[in-house]
Amino acid sequence: MILYLIEELEKRYSNIKIDDLLQGSSIPWDEELLKDQFYGNALKLYILLSYSPVFCSEDPVEIFYNRYYWFMTFVEKYKLKNGDDAGLEQQAFQLLEEVDGIDADLDWNILEQLNTQAIQEVRSPELLVRSP
């Protein structure tokens, strides 16, 4: 499984800039969350993977794994900076409920590993030193 990074996506779709896609979206996003230096990129990746038509032809399981990883990374970074947020926890649960809409089998062990990876990466000593 490949976890997408913003730089990789911009190279892959060189004619499309991440911020342009977000601005063209009809879904209202909290600009402050997107601009945050600590967790904004994780949220951007989640939004792009969730709503951009660019990914329609991609494997839905791979896209879901990536969406889940980047959303959980955003949640963990947000919690580290701002404290717990019940609304974000509820959104994470709702994201897992979307599994029923995917026509392929997701591996729950992979989802658990992705969640653990997001937590460990966010709480790594290097990141803790850099967090605002």
Nearest to 116 by CA among 69, 83, 80, 65: 69
Give a yes or no: residue 48 inside a domain.
yes
Higher pLDDT, 8 or 96: 96
Separation CA 84–CA 103 (nearest Å) = 33
Give the per-residue pLDDT at 24: 66
The pTM (predicted TM-score) of the whole model is 0.81
pLDDT of residue 127: 56
Residue 104 pLDDT level (bands cut at 50, 70, 90): confident
In tens, the pLDDT along 48-79 reads 888 877 788 888 898 999 999 999 999 999 99
Establish if 106 belongs to a structural domain.
yes
| Percent of the chain scoring above 90 in pLDDT | 36
Number of domains, the chain: 1
Residue 107 predicted with pLDDT over 60: yes
Q: Sign of the C-alpha dihedral, residues 106, 52, 25, 121? A: positive
For residue 1, tell me if it sits in a domain: no
pLDDT at 131 over 60: no
